[in-house]
Structure 1
Amino acid sequence: MKPLIEKRDLTEKQLLERISIQDEGAFSVLYDRFRPKVYTYALKISGSVEVAEDIVHEVFLKVWQCREPDNIANLDAYLRVVTRNFTLKWLRRMILERTVGKEMKDNWDEVDFSTEQAVNLKETQEVIDRAIALLPPQRRLIFQLCKNEGLKYEEVAERTNLSRLTVKTHMQLALRFLRNYMVRYQDVVKLFLAVFLPLI
C-alpha cells in the first residue's frame, strides 16, 4: 500500500476506486479535499454549525459506503446533490418534530408509566440487545464503548488503535443498522427512534 503522502496526488476517480475497497488513507485524502465545500454548503442551507457538521459526516459516510465508483461521474456535483438532500431531509424532520411536539404538548397531560409500559420497555431492550448482537465484532465493540461506557470517539480510537474517523464511521453504520432492524418492530420503533435518532 502506498504511503498517505502519495495518495494526495491521486485523481478523484482513483480515490473513489480505492475507497470502494475500504482504503482508509484514500478516504482521508478525499475527506480533507472536499470537506470545506460540503460544510460550507450545508451551513448555508441549514444556518447551523452543529447541523452542518452532522451533514458532513452523513455525506462522507455515504461516500465511504460507495461500492460502485464508476456511477459517480462528477464528484463535486455528486457531493453537492447529496449534501443538499441530507440537509433538506434534516429541515423536513425539524418541521415534523416541531409540529408533533406542539401537538403532544397540547394533548398530553401526564405520563403514567404503568406495569404494561414497563413490560414494553423491557421487550424493547431485548429487541435492541438482539440487534446489537448481530453487529460485526469490531462495530459491536465500538458501539458498546460509546453507548455503554460513554467514551468519546477519541477515547475509543485510542483504545481500539483506530482513527477517530473510522470510529465515527463504524458508530454511524451501527446506528443505521439498528434503526433499520427496529423498523421491523412497529410497537417499539418510536421509543428506539426517540433514544437513538439524534445520534444518527
Structure 2
Amino acid sequence: MLHKLPENENELLAKVASGDTHAFSIIYNAYRKRIYTIALQYLHAEMQAEDAVQEIFLKLWRLEDNLTNIRNLEAYLLQLTKYKCLNMMRRQNLENLHIEPLHEGFEYADSDTEDQILLNDTRKIVNEGIAMLPPKQKLVYQLCRMQDLKYEKVGEKLNISPETVRSHLKLALKSLRAHISMHTDLTILLILFKII
C-alpha cells in the first residue's frame, strides 16, 4: 500500500528538482514497494523487478526541472513502471531469440538436396561461432541454451551469480549474432527457422 507523503507533492517535486536528496528519499520510500510489486507482476523475476525500480527512480531523479511539470506523481510513476516493464520484456524477448545449433535430426519439410546443403552450411556456421566463444561464455551458452537450464541452476553449477550467468549469455549471443551476420544469406535462413 502507498505511504502517504508527509508534504505537498508539488513542493516535494520542486525540492527534488533543486537536488534535495532528502525529498527524493521521501518519494522513493513512499512509492518503492508499490512499483516493485507492479514490476514483479509484469516481469515475474525479482532481480528484474529490482532493476526496473532502480531505473524508474533514476529516470525520475534525472528529470530535474521537468519534475515540476508532473501533476500526479503516482499516476506518472505507474505509467513509467508499465512502459519500463514492457520495454524490459521486449528486450528480454529479443535476447531470447537465441541461436541454437541445428540438431542432426532436424529436417526441413521439403528435403531437396539444395535445402539440405543450405542447412548443413548453416549448422556449420553456427557451430563455428559457438566454438569461437571464450570458454566461460561457451559453457554458459551450452548450459542455458542447449541444455535449457535456468540462470540460477547454471550459477550453482559454475559457482557464479545468476546475474553473471546472464551477462555471459548476453555477450555470447552478441558474438554469435555478429558471427552469423557476416553470412547474411544464412541470417535470413536462421530468422525463417526462428533460430536466432
TM-score (norm 1): 0.49
Larger Rg: 2
TM-score (norm 2): 0.49
Larger RCO (CA under 8 A, 6+ residues apart) = 2
